[in-house]
Structure 1
Amino acid sequence: MNASARQSSRARTRGTAVLVVSVLLIIGLVAWIAVARSNGAGGDFHGEGTGEEQIVEVPEGSSVSELGPNLEQLGVVKTNAAFQTAALSSSDYDDIQPGFYRLQKGMSAQAAVTALLDPANRVTPLQVYGGATLMDVTVVGGQTRSGILSLIRQVACDTSGSSSCVTMDDLTRVASTADPATLGVPEWARAAVTAKAGDAKRLEGLIAPGDYIVDPQASAESILTDLITRSASLYESTNITGRAQAIGLSPYELLTSASLVERESPAGEFDKVARVILNRLAAPMRLEFDSTVNYGLTSVEVATTNEDRQRVTPWNTYAKDGLPETPIASPSLEAIEAMENPAQGDWLFFVTVDKNGTTVFNNSFEEHLADVQRAQEAGVLDSNR
């Protein structure tokens, strides 16, 4: 082989080697990109997440710029930048509601936005209704009304099945033993709450009706402190201290009276029942409310028995003078305001006389007995026991 042929052969060999190396580099690059994509390298994760739940809070009034960094820190999205891009490209992003959401770690930015827009991922708000009690109530006939502590547990644990969510034991222990000031109990209620240390019912009435966003990962003490603190602010906004003084009660007595109004009154008659309470206290006469009898019983119904009414409890106003030792339920703002601004009248008695909620007020015991007879004939006061 001459020199020219040898040079040509070496050139072809070098060209072949360069081509092989280039092909290998391309194959390697493609493989790296595939692996990088599967592992979420670059600016975004891929897919719906790893399956590991992560609770995310969307605060009231928060923006994309504020939410993105938190999602990145929690490992929900790969980068804030990817989330910003996905969020701003969604025409529905402004529909995301404040609250807590159950997302997953390792979600693509688009999957995270989609999940935040899905109401199914939002932790159900705690709904406290007017007249709710702290503990569960068993109604004669078998129905059970969930108490506020049970509702907290249900909302916090939801459907996650997490073993780390708050327990009923924790909630009951904190309600029974925690320092009232630490829990946010208003100063005017602390002495009464302290006096009943060891009993979870000492916090009755201090969580106002309303919708609350509960952090599923929070401790029992944090949850109760948040609820009581917010409720105290609501009560204070009505000038409960000044209004209580104006009607001759302490703020805690007004709260307790309002809980009776809530449990005893049909809608629209709150201010009249408030006046009956004040008239009876001033007389003085025992209040003799069936709702206060029921509060100390394991099973309740509208009608109470003679035996039940004779039971001496801290709440039974048939067996004790004055108000119950604590509220017997959560009074609504309407009930609070009715006690603060009672109707004018000399009524001492009232009774609901039909199943439509018609309530009759008077100041004559004889007329009251006739009204009670009407109620019995209408089946309102029938006992199932």
Structure 2
Amino acid sequence: MKINVVSIFIVLLALTSCVNNSTSKRNKNMDTLNLTQKWDKTFPKSDKVEHTKVTFHNRYGIALAADLYKPKNAQGRLAAIAVSGPYGAVKEQVSGRYAQTLAEYGFLTIAFDPSYYGESGGTPRNLTSPEISTEDFSAAVDYLSVRKDVDAQRIGILGICGWGGFALNAAANDPRIKATVTSTMYDMSRVNANGYFDKMTVDDRYELRKKLSEQRTKDYLAGNYERDGGVVNPVPEDAPLFVKQYHDYYKTERGYHRRSPNSNDGINKTAILAFINMPILSYIEEIRSAVLLVHGEQAHSRYFSEDAFKRLKGENKEILIIPGANHTDLYDNENVIPFNKINNFFVKYLNEIDE
């Protein structure tokens, strides 16, 4: 059979063009997020750092939006930290406060909206995933590692509340992460599968799965996804203290933000199905890099950090319990959040300083 070389060349050229056009279109779409340029945070702007909006993408092609904070007049390649959380919050709330403060200490930092949240991309909106929510931290490391003003060998991450658990999960999977800090950490798999304080039974779990699976059918028929309602408002008088503390942050001027799921209609109801079935902290014993767990003494969630710490191995693992602090004190109370300790931890391990 005679082969028409010219025809083959034309076909290959056309295929290459299609691939390039597809890639260009995908990259273009990832760069067209609707980003707010005005300062709309729940905390004041620092005059010690430069602030810019940036975007990057994870390996699922979802575009992520972030606030980048850089010390003014910084020179050379800096150590960098990616920050996210709490679960159901956006970067204009807690993570941005942490990122901006750590930039004042000299780090280049980003506070990012996770996939499906805030200004980041991804549909359906207000979804969480054991895999993708963890992946977003590694995607942030991807982005930071190729910046000319970042030392790729000196990158850390910081996760707050539910994103504390995802940060530990990312650290277990991604050796590029040289140091990890969690603040008021939640294990989202454990709390969804077992309830608070591990009170859920096998039958309880079955009934929850049944209810959520029925919700899936309803959502499919409706063509949209029902959300869990966010932080309860108004708060019942007999509500647990930690529910009232959440309300005091998310539903008041103190921490309310219009893009925050917790401040508004919440996260997709069926999102927790994946967490029930997929434990996120399965391999934290294998984390070789440095870890610091920070929690409040009076926090209802304290046991998550204490139990995780018992599983960590190595002399470079630490836990710090803040006397008298509750869960949400570590969101925004700068008299309580141990920024000096966090800074010293990152300085030590991102610069590989020996004791």
- TM-score bracket, normalised by the shorter chain, equals under 0.3
The structure richer in strand per residue is 2
Larger relative helix fraction? 1
- Structure with higher Rg: it is 1
Relative to the length of structure 2, the TM-score reads 0.23
If asked which structure has higher relative contact order (CA below 8 Å, sep 6+), I would say 2
